[in-house]
């Protein structure tokens, strides 16, 4: 069995350097605090934040060793003819970021998948350095929505709810929903709906992982769009002079986002 190019000895050396740097930083902060220049730093290190940092630093080498064993298993599943050395930037930057994400399952998984993909010649040219920075800025719900879009693909339909008031021009956009797992079997329709969280969609849009467009829609999905609207419209209490309508749209992964999922989330 070939050894993982990223090994425990190399990683621990890197972590030792980080630990030493942290200790030196602590010494300087202590000196500054003693001089009355930075009392706040002393208070922080004496707080739960400081204690959490101390515990995390102490446990990191052990936890990193566990993750490296998991990565070894994934690496061994790559056919030998496709196993390659990782690129320097991805390996060094990725391992460093992984060492700070050992208690965050969704981040840990993405960093490990990224590192393994970079050692697979079939995927290595699709491993983009930008993905390291993107991973750091995603939470569990971001990852969950990305996986949902990836798994349901074309079956995702999106609507934007519009509130209209009599004798007033224009309308107010109040919510966006998607429908997924839409199936018709033996004349029975089953589906799931999800109200989109603006914070999640805005974050994914900012990173160009998804696109949302209400100037286009799937013309052969009218039943799904109407089913989605009918399933959510009664959740709103309207004034007598108000009414709801919906705009059909598309929510889908970009090519950049599709590649991100295939490298980091699958």
**Tell me: the pLDDT tens digits for 133-158?**
999 999 999 999 999 999 886 678 89
**Tell me: the pLDDT tens digits for 194-252?**
999 999 999 999 999 999 999 999 888 898 999 999 999 988 888 888 889 999 999 99
Between CA 101 and CA 189 the distance in angstroms is: 41
Q: What is the pTM of this model?
A: 0.75
**Tell me: the pLDDT tens digits for 104-138?**
888 989 999 999 999 999 999 999 999 999 999 99
**Residue 266 reports pLDDT greater than 50:** yes
Domain boundaries, the chain: 8-136, 145-264
**Residue 22 reports pLDDT greater than 80:** no
Position 203 scores a pLDDT of 95
Sequential DSSP letters for 112-144: HHHHHHTTBTTTGGG--THHHHHHTT--HHHHH
Instruction: Evaluate whether 92 touches 228 at the Cβ level (below 8 Å).
Output: no
Mean of pLDDT values over 37-62: 57
Mean of pLDDT values over 45-58: 56
Helix axes 105-117 and 88-98, enclosed angle (nearest 10): 160
**Residue 167 reports pLDDT greater than 60:** yes
């Amino acid at each position: 069995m070939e050894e993982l190019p990223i090994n425990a000895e190399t990683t621990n050396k890197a972590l030792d350097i980080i630990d030493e740097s942290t200790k030196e930083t602590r010494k300087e902060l202590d000196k500054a605090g003693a001089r009355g220049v930075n009392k706040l730093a002393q208070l922080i290190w004496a707080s739960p934040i400081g204690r959490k940092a101390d515990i995390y630093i102490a446990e990191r080498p052990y936890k990193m060793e566990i993750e490296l064993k998991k990565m070894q298993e994934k690496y061994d599943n790559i056919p030998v003819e496709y196993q390659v050395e990782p690129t320097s930037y991805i390996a060094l930057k990725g391992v460093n970021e992984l060492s700070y994400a050992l208690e965050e399952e969704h981040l840990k998984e993405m960093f490990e998948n990224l590192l393994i993909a970079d050692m697979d010649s079939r995927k290595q040219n699709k491993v983009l350095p930008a993905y390291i920075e993107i991973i750091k800025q995603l939470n569990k719900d971001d990852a969950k929505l990305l996986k949902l879009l990836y798994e349901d693909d074309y079956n995702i339909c999106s609507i934007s709810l519009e509130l209209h008031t009599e004798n007033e021009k224009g309308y107010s956009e109040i919510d966006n929903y998607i429908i997924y797992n839409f199936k018709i079997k033996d004349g029975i329709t089953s589906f799931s709906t999800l109200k989109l969280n603006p914070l999640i969609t805005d974050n994914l849009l900012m990173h160009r992982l998804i696109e949302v467009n209400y100037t286009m829609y799937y013309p052969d999905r009218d039943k799904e769009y109407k089913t989605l609207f009918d399933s959510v419209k009664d959740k709103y209490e309207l004034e007598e002079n108000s009414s709801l309508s919906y705009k059909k749209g598309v929510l889908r992964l970009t090519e950049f986002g599709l590649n991100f999922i295939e490298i980091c989330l699958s």
